[in-house]
Amino acid sequence: MSVLEINDVEIGNKGIAVYQWPHPSPRYLLLILHGHNEHMGLYESVAKSLHAHGAFVFGPDHLGHGLSHGERLVIEDFDRVVNDVQITVATIRIRYPTLPLIIIGHSMGGMIATRYVQLNKTGHCGLVLSAPLLGDRTRITNLAIKQPRKVAFTTSVNSIESKIGDSIGPFKCITLAAMDRTRRLIHSGPGFENLPVLWLYGSEDTIVLAKETQTTIDRLKGTYFVTEPIPGAQHNVFSESHLAVTLAKVISFIDSVL
């Protein structure tokens, strides 16, 4: 049985909440990076399933999210978030220096995961991108152009639904601008090369459009790249109604790279 632990990792004089599902004899490490307006507690079903598969599962609540410090939903610089991820991984690596590491990133977390592997070429053996916020242009980062940068984008969730099709807002303009900068850095950055990558997306996703993501994927994908659409799924392919199908694809991919 998996038992959740939540610990603060001190970064500077601030704390990042890190969720862990310790395993008595793990075969691999599994890092989950959640999306915008989420927290790691939403991934408990995913964590428990992969824990049963032999993973020591862990992941941080990002800056401004969940139990971590910071103004809610405000991220000024995603390189700072990538640094938080680096420190989180290093903390777990003290206990498990040689275990293979798989990374799962959903939506904004997929963007963070992609930037992480661009800046850290070693130490991981597989990457799962779930509806990652990537692309030459995206519906979400386009909002940074349409909204005044100095004012919080505090439109109600219902209004955001009419713009991008699901309730993942509200967005702050400063966060949208940071997303846009990071999206451009990723698009022009180094590719995946020999790193095995699985790209998952919902066939009915109206938030992060696969055709937009494809523009960056085509630039980055390397020698081992798998694409798996989830039929009928919307943005969150880990939702309860599609969880079994999605996890089967994730586990098959993990088995192929371990």
In 81-125 the beta strands, taken as DSSP E runs, fall at 101-106
Question: pLDDT tens across 12-42, in order?
Answer: 657 899 999 999 999 999 999 999 999 999 9
Rounded distance, CA 258 to CA 251, Å? 11
Task: Give the least confident one: 21-25, 139-143, 218-222, 246-250.
Answer: 139-143
Report the candidate in 33, 153, 9 with the shortest Cα–Cα distance to residue 90. 9
Contact residues for 67 (Cβ-Cβ < 8 A; gap 6+): 6, 17, 39, 61
| Reported confidence tier of residue 147, pLDDT bands at 50, 70, 90 | low
Report the candidate in 32, 13, 18 with the shortest Cα–Cα distance to residue 94. 18
Block residue for tokens 């601030």:
14
Tokens of 151: 């004012």
Question: pLDDT tens across 98-107, in order?
Answer: 999 999 999 9
Domain ranges of the chain: 8-147+165-256
Q: What is the pLDDT of residue 156?
A: 35
The answer to whether 237 and 228 are in contact (CB under 8 A) is no
CATH of domain 8-147+165-256: 3.40.50.1820
Residues in the chain: 258
Report the percentage of the chain scoring pLDDT > 70: 87
Rounded distance, CA 133 to CA 235, Å? 11
Residue-averaged pLDDT of the chain: 88
Rounded distance, CA 229 to CA 249, Å? 10
